[in-house]
């Protein structure tokens, strides 16, 4: 339909001239959106990066504002929401140009966490025509006084990068706020801008009922290749060290490259390795979420100015600002999913007419298979992505509080509004009431907090926050992104103090790392950060103090930032590649040989089968299986298997999980075991519950739920100055609540989150169901070729056993006794 | 460094000598002085959750009940003649009116059954008088002196609370953080017993003045109390929740 549309849409004169002046013509999707706007409708625009998507979103608003007579009272016309603050700022800048050149006289402003209080106040009193902001700032606006009036004249809402935000708690919060805007400004058009996704219909529903989908194919095919390294491909590990010279060669040939990795530790490592071989002293920079913001901005600016040859980066550069000059995207290690790969490839060559160039550099043998699977998936145009999600209840609680802080709400009407938000369409009235009670009194069966209610039903029937303290507290704590406690990494210098003491003077901040990383280090340990080898000197308040050093063998920071598992979809493809001999021919010779030996010595499973191998080695017996379901699901499986084996008297000692496989070892021979029995899906019953309740992950999940729901506050007015953020332990709250009210709504939420997220229980459940009756057990005398990679992980990865905490304490005591005896 | 001869295990408890008296450190965080039939618990912080609730953070209202139930069970098992609550028994001065009737009954039963002593703390300089038991600033029994706040410098025989000692023990590529007893064999600081009480790492400077020659941490585990020397302990970073 889009091509015919072009003729129908007539641009107003200044716009037509502006387009003509640049030699541009209206693109079909831009025309289509102007057309739907004419009918009072929004739409979901699906187009690859660089397709003029953002301009398409704004064009109808610009035209509308340009042709209508100037308004006497300033009112907000268009609200633009971006997941990234930096993107909102960038879009504002890019939009300012046409507005100025066409002399449209339209005001546009950004509103982010950095916007000053006075400016915010002015924006509320005298709103700009177009406001560019983030989901959290929108939630704040919704929770403010007279919010309804502020949005009353709203004509358009534009949600950018909607694919990146819909399937998350941030997306839940945004969808609730959008539902509120529908109530307050029923005529406003809702427009979504998205990259190509697996299920456009679901995304359109997320945006609102009856949202038309406007597709824009365009762009040349991507040119993707898998690096066929001359060097020996490692069995395991993620260093990618073996092919760094070849990658460097490609970077040298290209104009500008983005080198994507999957974790921050890989980013540090890759950056180090690239500089080790950087004979031409090419300007190669590093960009990841832990680096200091200023540092990151400098790298981005240098890139925009074309001063860099390459940037090693994590998902921090997956979204956002266009880098026109990038003509090569390198993916170090496996891409983990075809949608992510396409998104990353889209970061190059935004000129659309030239093909994007991408190079995949697998870091081990299984990754060769995974990269191959990803290339095939992209060629076939197959995408992966999460299914529709159920809206989180902690986020709902936050929204209810927000509405109570703003206009106040009627219980029945707000329930109806909430169920119009796609993630909450199945919310039942009973659950709704429980969440309202959670907001009001904590939702406890023991009703003792009536006098401490946070929201109160007023005589006019509306619920409102009890007082200004409650309002202030809520507004300070809006948002769904809860990060692990972070600690600043600072370079120190030493000064001579009295009595020969050395005094440390904290200096420049290099960035931030998760606090728990430093809980593992003792002073003197070295690690890689911000592209340097650093020595840990100690902790001072909220700073980790470090010095520069030249240790050739630093510890690799094991911080988890940005680990994502292989998608189910890609896992299927890997299994198929593995099974089909025809495919082997396309693989590098060493990988092919590896698979052939596996076939000779053990078994190559059918694509729908699960291969389990058992063999003795040293004085232990090993079980290795290959579900290809990702490390998280494998860890959960390992935890449950060892519990079950413990009960059967097999004396399991530990296990280690990789992305592709799981290895469990025990004292007893495992070759006689009934594997159908051992891998039966009933392991997800009591064992799972029992283990889950105790697990640290569950406690962490609960903490986040309690913070998002507002049961506890991250920031509390009185405690701000001391820097102490939470003055009680959320682990203890979890323990008390669990033993006294196990069905509390937040515990239910925590279980659901843990199942979906960190523990990947849902995925494990699906896998166990799938392999039922399809297990092949290969009883071996010795280790198989496939088992080697995961066996090599033993010793590198932490080993799990049920009672690790007790074991650590017992060993510490043994130390003391040994010291005493010696 | 105290002599390690004084450490031995009976069941899950850790036997430990302080100023010549033999004490049992229990995994729940209580102290049992069998020779004198004295049970000591410290820093109960009753009604801590409701104190936060009054200020807008609706913590689960189960902490007082949970703490009292654990003490009741201890009294049933050990049948102590005397129970010492070593100060900060109540989280704030308005805790008493917020207490549930059932919790008040539980306390009165316990103070009836035993010679119960409320030591005054900084959170509860005047413990409520209608719950039974005696109120004291400090108490001397045999070689030991019981008071809420530990005194800097040598104080042989002092058993105190107040600091909520916690230890972080490293091993196997991770670390475990738990409440602990801290002692050098001369004096002791007890862990907080209350269900919602966090702690201060024993490597914090506050402990230096108490144990200038080092100390041993009796770390509370699920299965027992583990004696741990300073070289196995590591510092906390940000979250020293008190």
Q: What is the ipTM of this complex?
A: 0.86
Res A562 pLDDT > 70 = no
Res A693 pLDDT > 80 = no
What's the CA gap between B165 and B177, in Å, rounded? 11
- A85-134 pLDDT, tens digit per residue, is 878 888 998 899 999 999 999 999 999 888 899 999 999 999 999 999 99
Contact list, A444 vs chain B (CB under 8 Å) = 58, 60-62
CA neighbor of B216 nearest in space, from B189, B177, B176, B178: B189
Say which residue the tokens 């005054």 belong to.
B120
- Using CA coordinates, name the residue in chain B closest to A452: B54
For residues B214 and B185, the answer to whether their CB atoms sit within 8 Å is no
Restricting to B residues 9-28, those with a Cβ less than 8 Å away from any Cβ of A are none
Res A721 pLDDT > 50 = no
Distance from CA of A72 to the nearest CA of B (A): 43
Cβ of A813 and B237 within 8 Å? no
For residues A725 and A414, the answer to whether their CB atoms sit within 8 Å is no
- Using CA coordinates, name the residue in chain A closest to B219: A809
Query: What per-residue confidence (pLDDT) applies to B95?
Result: 95
Count of beta carbons in the 10 Å neighbourhood of residue A130: 24
Query: What per-residue confidence (pLDDT) applies to A560?
Result: 45
Q: Which of B60, B178, B203, B216 to mutate to test the interface with A (most CBs of A within 10 A)?
A: B60
Distance of CA A22 to the CA centre of its chain: 38
Cβ of A446 and B62 within 8 Å? yes
Higher pLDDT, B3 or A100: A100
Res B17 pLDDT > 50 = yes
What's the CA gap between A655 and A666, in Å, rounded? 9
3-state SS, residue B1 = coil
Residue partners of A711: CB distance under 8 A and separation at least 6: A438, A442, A746, B57, B58, B59
Res A554 pLDDT > 50 = yes
Confidence of residue A520 (pLDDT cuts 50, 70, 90): low
Query: Would strands A156-159 and A189-194 be described as parallel, antiparallel, or unpaired?
Result: parallel
Res A722 pLDDT > 50 = no
Share of chain A above pLDDT 70, in %: 88
For residues A274 and A284, the answer to whether their CB atoms sit within 8 Å is yes
- Return the structure tokens found at A591: 């990988």
Residue A158 DSSP class: E
Q: Of A444, A518, A726, which is closest to B60 when you measure between CB atoms? A: A444
The whole-number average pLDDT for the span A47-75 is: 85
The domain spans of chain A are 2-215, 223-379, 393-481+696-755, 486-548, 606-683+759-806
CA neighbor of A247 nearest in space, from A344, A169, A171, A328: A328
Residue A524 DSSP class: T
Higher pLDDT, A60 or A502: A60
Residue A583 DSSP class: H
Higher pLDDT, A797 or A407: A407
3-state SS, residue A532 = strand
Higher pLDDT, A432 or A732: A432
- A605-662 pLDDT, tens digit per residue, is 998 999 999 999 988 899 999 999 888 788 889 888 988 888 888 888 888 888 899 9
- Using CA coordinates, name the residue in chain A closest to B229: A816
Contact list, A656 vs chain B (CB under 8 Å) = none
Q: Which of B98, B237, B239, B240 to mutate to test the interface with A (most CBs of A within 10 A)?
A: B237
- B185-229 pLDDT, tens digit per residue, is 999 999 999 988 878 889 888 898 999 988 999 999 888 899 998
- Using CA coordinates, name the residue in chain B closest to A694: B222
The whole-number average pLDDT for the span A771-796 is: 88
Contact list, A806 vs chain B (CB under 8 Å) = 221-223
Say which residue the tokens 């232990």 belong to.
A620
What's the CA gap between A602 and A787, in Å, rounded? 10
Cβ of A736 and B60 within 8 Å? yes
- Return the structure tokens found at A143: 């929770």
Contact list, A713 vs chain B (CB under 8 Å) = 56-57
Cβ of A515 and B238 within 8 Å? yes
Cβ of A744 and B58 within 8 Å? no
CA neighbor of A56 nearest in space, from A137, A125, A136, A156: A156
- Return the structure tokens found at A509: 């901040």
Contact list, B170 vs chain A (CB under 8 Å) = 519-520, 522, 808
Residue partners of A492: CB distance under 8 A and separation at least 6: A504, A505, A506, A507, A537, A545, A546, A547
Q: Of B4, B65, B176, which is closest to A809 when you measure between CB atoms? A: B176
3-state SS, residue A289 = coil
Class (C level, CATH) for A2-215: alpha beta
Distance of CA A420 to the CA centre of its chain: 26
Higher pLDDT, A126 or A761: A126
What stretches of A526-567 show up as alpha helix (H) in DSSP?
Answer: none
Q: Of B196, B222, B237, which is closest to A518 when you measure between CB atoms? A: B237
- Return the structure tokens found at A657: 């999980």
Estimate the crossing angle of helix A745-756 against helix A429-441, to 10 degrees.
Answer: 110
Q: What is the mean pLDDT of chain A?
A: 85
Torsion of CA A335, A341, A347, A350, to 10 degrees: 150
CA neighbor of A177 nearest in space, from A219, A207, A222: A207
Cβ of A808 and B169 within 8 Å? yes
Cβ of A808 and B236 within 8 Å? no
Instruction: Write the CATH number of the domain with boundaries B4-143+154-234.
Output: 3.60.21
Confidence of residue B237 (pLDDT cuts 50, 70, 90): low
Res A820 pLDDT > 80 = no
Check for a shared fold between A2-215 and A223-379: yes
Contact list, B196 vs chain A (CB under 8 Å) = 728-729, 732-733, 736
Distance of CA A690 to the CA centre of its chain: 28
Distance from CA of B221 to the nearest CA of A (A): 6
Res A175 pLDDT > 80 = yes
Distance from CA of A652 to the nearest CA of B (A): 17
DSSP string covering A20-65: HHTT----HHHHHHHHHHHTT--EEEE--TTSSHHHHHHHHHHHHH
Restricting to B residues 165-184, those with a Cβ less than 8 Å away from any Cβ of A are 168-176, 178
Say which residue the tokens 């704040």 belong to.
A140
Query: What per-residue confidence (pLDDT) applies to B62?
Result: 95
* Range from A327-341, B27-41, B112-126, B165-179 carrying the lowest mean pLDDT: B165-179
CA neighbor of A475 nearest in space, from A121, A150, A721, A140: A140
Query: What per-residue confidence (pLDDT) applies to B12?
Result: 80
Query: What per-residue confidence (pLDDT) applies to B49?
Result: 95
Cβ of A816 and B63 within 8 Å? no
- Return the structure tokens found at A793: 């992980």
CA neighbor of A179 nearest in space, from A490, A507, A403: A403
What's the CA gap between A790 and A237, in Å, rounded? 9
Confidence of residue A500 (pLDDT cuts 50, 70, 90): low
The whole-number average pLDDT for the span A356-366 is: 89
- Using CA coordinates, name the residue in chain A closest to B217: A813
Angle at CA of residue A708, ends A706 and A711, nearest 5°: 40
Query: What per-residue confidence (pLDDT) applies to B3?
Result: 41
Query: What per-residue confidence (pLDDT) applies to B101?
Result: 94
Q: Of A448, A454, A815, which is closest to B232 when you measure between CB atoms? A: A815
Query: What per-residue confidence (pLDDT) applies to A800?
Result: 53
Contact with chain A for residue B1, Cβ under 8 A: no
Q: Of A441, A542, A809, which is closest to B169 when you measure between CB atoms? A: A809
- Return the structure tokens found at A543: 């700073």
Distance from CA of A689 to the nearest CA of B (A): 19
Torsion of CA B120, B123, B127, B133, to 10 degrees: -60
Give the dihedral sign, CA B132/B137/B140/B143.
positive
Using CA atoms, how far residue B221 sits from A494, A579, A800, in Å, is 39, 49, 18
Distance from CA of A620 to the nearest CA of B (A): 20
Angle at CA of residue A121, ends A115 and A122, nearest 5°: 95
What's the CA gap between A577 and A587, in Å, rounded? 10
Contact list, B174 vs chain A (CB under 8 Å) = 520, 798, 804, 808
Contact with chain A for residue B111, Cβ under 8 A: no
- Return the structure tokens found at B131: 């719950």
Instruction: Write the CATH number of the domain with boundaries A223-379.
Output: 3.40.50.300
What stretches of A419-550 show up as alpha helix (H) in DSSP?
Answer: 429-441, 468-476, 515-519
Query: What's the residue count for chain A?
Result: 822
Q: Of B56, B170, B232, which is closest to A469 when you measure between CB atoms? A: B56
What's the CA gap between A491 and A507, in Å, rounded? 5
- A436-482 pLDDT, tens digit per residue, is 999 999 999 988 898 899 999 999 999 999 999 999 989 988 888 76
Contact list, A810 vs chain B (CB under 8 Å) = 221, 226
CA atoms within 13 A on the CB side of A317: 35
The domain spans of chain B are 4-143+154-234
For residues B238 and A542, the answer to whether their CB atoms sit within 8 Å is yes
């Amino acid at each position: 339909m889009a091509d015919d549309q072009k003729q129908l849409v007539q641009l107003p004169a200044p716009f037509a001239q502006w387009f003509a002046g640049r030699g541009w013509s209206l693109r079909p999707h831009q025309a289509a959106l102007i057309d739907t706007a004419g009918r009072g409708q929004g739409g979901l625009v699906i187009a690859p990066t660089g397709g003029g998507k953002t301009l398409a979103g704004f064009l109808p608003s610009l035209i509308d504002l340009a042709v209508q007579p100037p308004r006497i009272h300033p009112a907000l016309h268009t609200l633009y929401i971006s997941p990234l603050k930096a993107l909102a700022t960038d879009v504002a800048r890019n939009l300012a140009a046409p507005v100025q050149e066409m002399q449209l006289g339209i005001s546009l402003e950004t509103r982010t966490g950095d916007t000053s209080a006075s400016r915010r106040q002015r924006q509320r009193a005298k709103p700009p025509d177009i406001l560019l902001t983030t989901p959290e700032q929108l939630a704040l606006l919704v929770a403010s006084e007279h919010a309804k009036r502020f949005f009353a004249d709203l004509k358009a809402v534009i949600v950018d990068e909607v694919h990146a935000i819909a399937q998350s708690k941030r997306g839940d919060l945004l969808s609730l706020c959008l539902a509120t805007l529908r109530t307050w400004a029923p005529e406003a058009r809702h427009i979504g801008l998205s990259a190509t996704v697996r299920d456009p219909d679901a995304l359109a529903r997320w945006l609102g009922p009856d949202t038309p989908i406007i597709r824009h194919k365009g762009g040349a095919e991507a040119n993707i290749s898998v690096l066929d390294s001359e060097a020996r491909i490692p069995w395991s590990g993620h260093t990618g060290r073996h092919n760094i010279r070849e990658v460097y060669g490609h970077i040298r040939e290209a104009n500008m490259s983005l080198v994507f990795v999957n974790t921050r530790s890989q980013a540090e490592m890759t950056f180090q390795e690239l500089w080790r071989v950087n004979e031409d002293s090419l300007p190669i920079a590093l960009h990841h979420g832990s680096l200091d913001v200023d540092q990151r901005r400098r790298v981005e600016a240098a890139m925009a100015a074309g001063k860099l040859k390459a940037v090693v980066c994590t998902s921090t550069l997956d979204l956002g600002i266009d880098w026109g000059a990038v003509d090569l995207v390198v993916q170090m290690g496996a891409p983990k999913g075809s949608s992510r790969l396409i998104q990353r490839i889209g970061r190059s060559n935004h000129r659309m007419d030239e093909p994007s160039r991408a190079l995949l550099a697998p870091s081990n043998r299984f990754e060769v298979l995974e990269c191959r699977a990803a290339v095939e998936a992209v060629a076939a145009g197959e995408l992966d992505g999460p299914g529709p999600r159920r809206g989180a209840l902690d986020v709902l609680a936050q929204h209810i509080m927000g509405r109570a802080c703003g206009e106040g709400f009627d219980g029945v009407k707000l329930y109806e509004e909430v169920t119009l938000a796609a993630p909450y369409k199945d919310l039942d009235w009973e659950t709704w009431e429980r969440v309202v009670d959670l907001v009001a009194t904590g939702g406890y069966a023991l009703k003792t907090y009536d006098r401490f209610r946070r929201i109160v039903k007023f005589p006019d029937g509306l619920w409102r926050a009890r007082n200004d303290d409650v309002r202030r507290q809520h507004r300070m704590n809006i948002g769904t992104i809860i990060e692990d406690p972070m600690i600043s990494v600072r370079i120190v210098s030493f000064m001579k103090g009295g009595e020969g003491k050395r005094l440390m003077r904290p200096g420049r901040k290099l960035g931030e790392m998760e606090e728990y990383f430093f809980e593992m280090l003792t002073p003197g340990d070295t690690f890689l950060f911000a592209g340097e080898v650093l020595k840990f000197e100690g902790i001072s308040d909220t700073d980790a103090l470090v010095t520069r050093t030249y240790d050739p063998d630093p510890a690799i920071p094991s911080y988890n930032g940005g680990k994502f598992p292989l998608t189910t979809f890609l896992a299927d493809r890997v299994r198929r590649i593995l099974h089909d001999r025809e495919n082997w021919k396309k693989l590098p010779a060493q990988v092919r040989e590896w698979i052939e030996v596996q076939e000779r010595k053990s078994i190559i499973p059918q694509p729908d089968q699960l291969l389990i191998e058992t063999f003795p080695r040293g004085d232990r017996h090993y079980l290795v299986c290959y579900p290809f379901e990702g490390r998280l699901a494998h860890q959960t499986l390992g935890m449950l298997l060892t519990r079950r084996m413990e009960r059967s008297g097999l004396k399991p000692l530990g296990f280690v999980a990789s992305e592709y496989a799981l290895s469990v070892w025990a004292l007893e021979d495992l070759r006689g075991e009934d594997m159908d029995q051992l891998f039966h899906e009933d392991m997800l019953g009591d064992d799972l519950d029992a283990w889950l309740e105790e697990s640290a992950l569950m406690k962490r999940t609960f903490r986040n739920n309690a913070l998002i729901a507002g049961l506890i506050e991250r920031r509390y007015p009185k405690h701000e100055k001391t820097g102490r953020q939470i003055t009680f332990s959320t682990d203890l709250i979890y323990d008390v609540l669990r033993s006294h009210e196990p069905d509390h709504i937040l515990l239910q939420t925590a279980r659901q989150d843990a199942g979906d997220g960190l523990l990947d229980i849902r995925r494990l459940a699906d896998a166990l169901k799938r392999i039922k009756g399809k297990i092949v057990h290969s009883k071996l005398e010795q280790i198989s070729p496939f088992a080697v990679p995961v066996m090599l992980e033993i010793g590198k990865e932490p080993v799990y056993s049920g009672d690790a905490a007790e074991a650590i304490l017992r060993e510490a005591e043994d130390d003391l006794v040994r010291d005493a005896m010696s | 460094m105290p002599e390690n001869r004084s450490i031995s295990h009976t069941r899950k408890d850790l036997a430990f000598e302080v100023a010549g008296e033999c004490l049992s450190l229990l995994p729940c965080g209580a102290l049992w002085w069998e020779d004198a039939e004295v049970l000591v618990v410290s820093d109960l912080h009753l009604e801590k959750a409701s104190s936060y609730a009054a200020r807008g953070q609706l913590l689960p209202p189960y902490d007082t009940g949970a703490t009292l139930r654990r003490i009741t069970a201890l009294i049933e098992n050990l049948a102590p003649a005397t129970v010492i609550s070593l100060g900060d028994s109540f989280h704030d001065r308005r805790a008493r009116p917020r207490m549930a009737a059932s919790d008040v009954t539980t306390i009165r039963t316990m103070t009836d059954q035993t010679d119960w002593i409320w030591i005054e703390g900084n959170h509860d300089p005047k413990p409520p008088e209608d719950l039974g038991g005696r109120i004291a600033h400090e108490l001397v029994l045999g070689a030991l002196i019981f008071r809420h706040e530990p005194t800097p410098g040598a104080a042989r025989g002092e058993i105190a609370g107040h600091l909520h000692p916690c230890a972080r023990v490293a091993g196997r590529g991770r670390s475990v953080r738990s409440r602990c007893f801290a002692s050098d064999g001369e004096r002791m600081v007890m862990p907080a017993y209350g269900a919602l009480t966090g702690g201060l790492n024993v490597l914090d400077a506050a402990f230096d003045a108490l144990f200038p020659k080092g100390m041993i941490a009796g770390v509370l585990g699920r299965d027992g109390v583990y004696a741990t020397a300073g070289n196995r302990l590591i510092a906390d970073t940000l979250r020293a929740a008190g």
